[in-house]
Amino acid sequence: MKDKMFLSYSYNDSAWVKQFEAALKNEGLNAWSGFNMQVGGDIREEIESTLRASSTFIILLSSNSIKNNWVFFEFGAAVAGNKRIIPIVIDDIGNEKLPLPITRYQFLRESSPLSAAKMVAKAIKNENGE
């Protein structure tokens, strides 16, 4: 599967995100989280170019990320770029705490990175007719 998936998250959720990214890759999906950026590289440029090249934007929502302005900058860029948006609530935050623009998208609520990856892979593969 060649579609690139951009993962947007709070750095405080890195352990969960690393497991999720690895599980997506095990499912044959091309996920990018930024953990392997080159030392000395331009972080902002790499994020922007990878987001532009991605077809799917996965926003990982947690009590950390809903307070992170950069996550919502990335979300706005994904919406403007007509990306497929997949919100995943990864911890125990109530629906009332989800930012209003996110609630227009059907979201997944899953605390297990492995289970979340399997559900995302199934949805992507079904959408692509695989």
Domains and CATH numbers, the chain: 4-127 (3.40.50.10140)
Query: For 34-55, what is the mean pLDDT?
Result: 84
Average pLDDT over residues 89-112: 91
Share of the chain above pLDDT 90, in %: 67
Q: How far apart are CA 52 and CA 29, in angstroms?
A: 17
pLDDT at 16: 97
Beta strands in 3-97 (DSSP E): 4-8, 30-32, 56-61, 84-89
Mean pLDDT taken over the chain: 91
pLDDT tens, position by position, 50-93: 999 999 999 999 999 999 999 999 999 999 999 999 999 999 99
11-14-20-21 Cα dihedral, nearest 10 degrees? 70
Helices (H) and strands (E) in the chain, counts: 4, 5
- Of 129, 108, 124, residue with least CA distance to 25: 124
Q: Could you give the 3-state DSSP secondary structure of residue 6?
A: strand
- List, in sequence order, every residue forming a beta bridge with 85; answer none if it has no partner: 57
Predicted local confidence at residue 2, as pLDDT: 57
